Amino acid sequence: MEKQHQHHRGSWGSSLGFLMAAIGSAVGLGNLWGFPFKMGANGGFAFLLVYIVLTVAVGFAMLMAEMAIGRKTGRSAVGAFRQLDSRHPEVGYMGVISGTIVVSYYCVLGGLCLRYCLGFFTEMFGGMGFLGHGEEFFQTFTASPWSMVLCTAAFAVITGSILMGGVSGGIEKFSTVAMPALFVMLIALVVYISRQPGAEQGYAFMFTPDWDYLKENFFSVVSTAAGQMFFSLSLAMGIMVAYGSYLKKDENIPRDALLICGADTIIALLAGCLVIPAAFAFVGEDAYMSGVKLLFVTMHQVFFNIGGRFGCFLGFIFFLTVSIAAITSSVSLLEVSVSFGVDRRIDKHKAPRRKTIIAVCTILVFLLAVPVALDALGGAADATPLGLLQQLFPALALKGWNESFINAYSFISEGFLMPLGALLMSLYIGYKYKTTLITNECGIRRGRVLDLCYRFIVPVAMLVVLYGQLRDFLG
Ligand code: PFF
């Protein structure tokens, strides 16, 4: 009986397939868009060093822990933590909630990527007509409620359909084709941009180490780097627990965690050698170098200025790359709530009904995404959470978190639940379940350094992130 249900949960077909799916989850908008501008604006190479140290000391340890907990318990986030301590499944619930919130705004951003991808594709046969020159298209398009909702729905449906194929037949199959394609397209774009005059200014902006900036803003650089690293490695959302639960017992977890950390960082750096240098080479220093406008206005202008069919072709390739990255990440995010639903039914000895659960989760996520789509990603002045809340609390003031729905969503998930969940998880591992839970599952003999990570380094890093995020969003 137990075996049969385990079979219903699904499992990975091969080690490579799992790696592609996990790297697919890690590589997303965070790498292709978030990392480049955060690195450029936070001390360049100095930021990179902090980021790498944190990836090794914090990210790698937590990634291994999540995968080990998933595989050991054979359950996704909530069930896994409940199995370890029946009174404290809250870390799992936090993952399910924040994963669901992240995937909802991911659908809006991903939907827009699809729209740009399609736009450049059709323009290849017409030549830069209706797409216009960057900003006005973005303003008009995001201000059109139907267009935004339609793109969001399309992205949600694509995500749901991939999950319908199952763990190995859907997630794994898609990632095994999509991730190598993403890598090849990214390299081609990086090489093309490196040959353009003006790109060197972008490399200088990205890589010149600003040690003074690091010294003066040490705390905020560490907080930004740690927050970005956690998001980029898909940690504290229950994903790597769920993905780990589909692993075979002989899979080498430390090796996989290392490969995932390495691939994720390399792709973020490659994106840094593409997005910012392209902006300098084709738009100039005055381009938007951060926020959604970096992706949807500046990058649009880049390909418009390259011009002609070739510009459209490159624009199509770029937005296809970003769309693939977004899809494999949102698939993993939706899998968190789907696997939660499936495990609940299995624990009650009912048929898993995975497809029904996927349909329900997709619809829920879409509904949650609608406010983000309707407030034009922060462009609509009157439909913000602040505007709505002020009807109840007239004295409420404008802060970072309440100026748009996307900010409110990212505050609750990435800003608050993610660092808090990771903090609790590392304390539980370090002091309650003990590090041996992880080392035994991973086949590591000496775990002294890891013990230090779970008991001390990760909790301190997460407190810094939590403080930094609360200050940024509420300050
Ligand atoms: N890691 C993805 C990115 O860098 O965009 C986003 C993400 C996916 C975050 C899955 C969290 C997650 F659980």
Q: Encode pLDDT of 239-253 as tens digits.
A: 999 999 999 999 999
* pLDDT value for 1: 43
* pLDDT value for 2: 46
Cα–Cα distance measured from residue 255 to residue 242, given in angstroms and rounded to the nearest whole number? 18
Look at residue 399 and tell me whether its pLDDT is greater than 90.
no
Q: Which of 105, 60, 58, 101 is nearest to 453 (CA)?
A: 58
Look at residue 335 and tell me whether its pLDDT is greater than 80.
yes
* pLDDT value for 398: 81
* pLDDT value for 129: 57
Percent of the chain surpassing pLDDT 70: 97
Half-sphere exposure of 167 (CA within 13 A, CB side): 26
Nearest atom within ligand 1 for CA of residue 329: 8
Cα–Cα distance measured from residue 140 to residue 128, given in angstroms and rounded to the nearest whole number? 16
For residues 463, 469, 471 and 475, what is the CA-based torsion angle, rounded to 10 degrees? Answer: -160
Percent of the chain surpassing pLDDT 90: 84
User: 30: CA distance to ligand 1 center in Å?
Assistant: 7
Contacts of 304 (CB under 8 A, 6+ apart): 128, 131, 133, 134, 311, 315
* pLDDT value for 390: 80
* pLDDT value for 383: 72
Cα–Cα distance measured from residue 19 to residue 17, given in angstroms and rounded to the nearest whole number? 5
Cα–Cα distance measured from residue 44 to residue 32, given in angstroms and rounded to the nearest whole number? 16
Mean predicted confidence (pLDDT) in 256-274:
98
* pLDDT value for 378: 79
* pLDDT value for 21: 98
User: 411: CA distance to ligand 1 center in Å?
Assistant: 15
Mean pLDDT of the chain: 93
* Closest CA to ligand 1's atom 9: 234
Q: From 35, 179, 234, 235, give the residue whose CB has the most ligand 1 atoms within 8 Å, as the site to mutate.
A: 234
| 122-169: pLDDT as tens digits | 988 875 555 566 788 999 999 999 999 999 999 999 999 999 999 999
Instruction: Please give the structure tokens belonging to residue 161.
Output: 């359909």
* Closest CA to ligand 1's atom 13: 234
Q: How many CB atoms sit inside 10 A of residue 232's CB?
A: 25
* Closest CA to ligand 1's atom 2: 28
| 356-389: pLDDT as tens digits | 999 999 999 999 999 999 988 877 767 777 778 7
Look at residue 7 and tell me whether its pLDDT is greater than 70.
no
Cα–Cα distance measured from residue 124 to residue 104, given in angstroms and rounded to the nearest whole number? 31
Q: How many helical (H) and strand (E) elements, i.e. helices and strands, does the chain have?
A: 27, 0
pTM above 0.75, yes or no: yes
| 172-228: pLDDT as tens digits | 999 999 999 999 999 999 999 999 999 999 999 999 999 999 999 999 999 999 999
Calculate the alpha carbon distances from 309 to 115, 135, 195, 319 in Å.
Answer: 18, 20, 19, 15
In Å, the largest CA–CA distance within the chain is 65
- Label residue 424 left, alpha or beta by phi (over 0 means left) and psi (-120 to 50 means alpha): alpha
Give me the phi and psi of 382, to 5 degrees please.
-95, -15
- Label residue 209 left, alpha or beta by phi (over 0 means left) and psi (-120 to 50 means alpha): beta
* pLDDT value for 412: 93
